[in-house]
């Protein structure tokens, strides 16, 4: 007899990897969308600097530290974020990069973050360090995942690190006792031998659980890191401080849900 399962085989494989490792790295599901997003990011940053991208978008991004200094970086980054998020196609294109992976890990009725974020980390830039943290510590729901997309090849310190689930649970379970009064640097020093650096070449995407500790360090590579991130969650899973309609927006509501939300029980039958 044929073996039946509730989940499709590809979803099972993604789910097993996500539960085991806390993340999934895979090729982007739509390279045209990724190339369009990368070009828009580069052109928006170039416009803020009053320059041109040139013949090779990848070279412009990797060598971005030759175009801008640390003092002007945040202004240019914000201009690039604005340029990206003003595009009416951006969020749908971003979702297309990992639609099947997000469906497999999260579900198919989804809420998506309303604005997509962009990080730019120059070589040796001390100001762009994101200290070790888990997003749930600052108002995110544990039901959210992050879709992290590199616009250049990201590896080693030109990338981010992630704490694997098993050691992460052990550290977080005793954090109040072990790290009370300690700094973020103290915490990183305690976990640095366990963290995994996410090596994600351009053309690939990373889906990870933001319940796990993660962050970045000083970029010791000779190229600039560009990466984007956006959160997704199941539409009807619990929210935390970041609410539906404020931080999140429904994107894949199904017809039965739309009909149910529009339905009102008949009135006039209440007993006195």
Q: What angle do CA 159, 173, 148 make, to 5 degrees?
A: 25
Within 8 A by CB and 6+ apart from 134, the residues are 172, 210, 211, 212, 213, 214
> What mean pLDDT value characterizes the chain?
94
The mean pLDDT of 53-75, rounded to a whole number, is 96
Residue 10 pLDDT > 80: no
Residue 131 pLDDT > 80: yes
What is the pTM for the complete model shown?
0.94
Which CATH number applies to 9-237+247-252: 2.60.120.620, 3.40.47.10, 3.40.50.620, 3.40.50.300? 2.60.120.620
Residue 272 pLDDT > 70: no
Residue 11 pLDDT > 90: no
Q: Tens of pLDDT along 196-232?
A: 999 999 999 999 999 999 999 999 999 999 999 999 9
Domain ranges of the chain: 9-237+247-252
pLDDT at 233: 98
């Amino acid at each position: 007899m044929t073996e039946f399962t509730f989940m499709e085989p590809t979803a099972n494989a993604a789910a097993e990897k996500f539960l085991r490792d806390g993340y999934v790295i895979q090729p982007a599901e739509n390279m045209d969308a990724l190339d369009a997003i990368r070009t828009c990011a580069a052109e928006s940053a170039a416009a803020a600097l009053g320059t041109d991208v040139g013949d090779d978008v990848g070279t412009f991004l990797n060598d971005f530290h030759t175009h801008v200094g640390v003092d002007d970086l945040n202004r240019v980054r914000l201009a690039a974020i604005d340029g990206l998020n003003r595009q009416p196609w951006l969020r749908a294109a971003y979702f297309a990069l990992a639609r099947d992976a997000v469906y497999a890990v999260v579900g198919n009725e989804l809420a998506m973050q309303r604005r997509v974020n962009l990080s730019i980390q120059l070589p040796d830039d001390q100001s762009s360090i994101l200290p070790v943290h888990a997003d749930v510590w600052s108002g995110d729901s544990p039901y959210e995942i992050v879709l992290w997309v590199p616009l250049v090849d990201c590896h080693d310190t030109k990338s981010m690190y992630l704490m694997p689930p098993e050691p992460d649970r052990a550290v977080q379970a005793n954090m109040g006792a072990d790290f009370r009064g300690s700094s973020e640097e103290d915490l990183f020093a305690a976990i640095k031998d366990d963290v995994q650096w996410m090596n994600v070449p351009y053309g690939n995407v990373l889906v990870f659980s933001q319940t796990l500790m993660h962050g970045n360090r000083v970029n010791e590579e000779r190229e600039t890191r560009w990466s984007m991130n956006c959160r997704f969650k199941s539409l009807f899973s619990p929210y935390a401080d970041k609410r539906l309609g404020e931080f999140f927006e429904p994107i894949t509501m199904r017809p039965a849900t739309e009909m149910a939300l529009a339905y009102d029980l008949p009135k006039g039958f209440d007993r006195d």
